[in-house]
Structure 1
Amino acid sequence: MELSFGFIINLVIGIYLFMDARKRNKSAILWGILGLIIGPLVLGIYFIQTGRKMIGWIIVILAIIWYIIAIVLGILGAIIGLL
């Protein structure tokens, strides 16, 4: 369930970036693919690039914190699995 939820979020972000990048004369295919693969981090960077700096930085910081938590929990799970 979680994997499909994350994929749906990345898909929505990718579609949004593709459509908004076309309106702003940016590379729509590049932003769409990056949004599909990386998701929230790319969305924050896109907002920063297009002048919406406050929301962009908030999204980038939250995405980095989320990735750090996921890595730490993954390492802890691997260590506990070895015990």
Structure 2
Amino acid sequence: MESLIGFLISLAFAIFLFIDAPKHNKSRWLWAILGFIFGPIALGIYFIKTGRKVAGWIITILAILVYVVIIVLIALAAALMVNGFS
């Protein structure tokens, strides 16, 4: 179920970028593929490149923070599994 939600979110990023990119003279296929693979980071960079800098920086920074928190939580969970909870 979680992978389906992640797939649909990535697909939504790709569709938005595919539709919006030609309006700013950008390659629709390139940005759609980047949006599908990298998600919110690609969307933030796209906004920065197309003049919507405030929204782009907010999205990019929040996406990076979320990824860092997820990595830290995974590392903490792995450390607790290896060393135990005591």
* Corresponding residue number in structure 2 for 1:33: 33
- Measured after TM superposition, the shift of residue 60 of structure 1 is 0.6
- 2:20 maps to amino acid: D
Segments of 4+ in structure 1 off by > 3 A?
none
Q: 17-26 or 36-45: which moved more?
A: 17-26
Higher CA-based Rg: 2
In structure 2, C-alpha distance between the alignment counterparts of 1:3 and 1:41, rounded to whole Å: 19
**What is the percentage of aligned positions where both structures have the same residue?**
57
Normalised by the length of structure 2, the TM-score is 0.89
Please, which runs of 5 or more residues in structure 1 have no aligned partner?
none
* Corresponding residue number in structure 2 for 1:68: 68
In structure 2, C-alpha distance between the alignment counterparts of 1:77 and 1:5, rounded to whole Å: 23
* Corresponding residue number in structure 2 for 1:50: 50
Please, which runs of 5 or more residues in structure 2 have no aligned partner?
none
Alignment RMSD: 1.0
- Measured after TM superposition, the shift of residue 77 of structure 1 is 1.4
Query: How many aligned positions are there?
Result: 83
In structure 1, C-alpha distance between the alignment counterparts of 2:9 and 2:40, rounded to whole Å: 8
Normalised by the length of structure 1, the TM-score is 0.92
Q: 3-12 or 28-37: which moved more?
A: 3-12
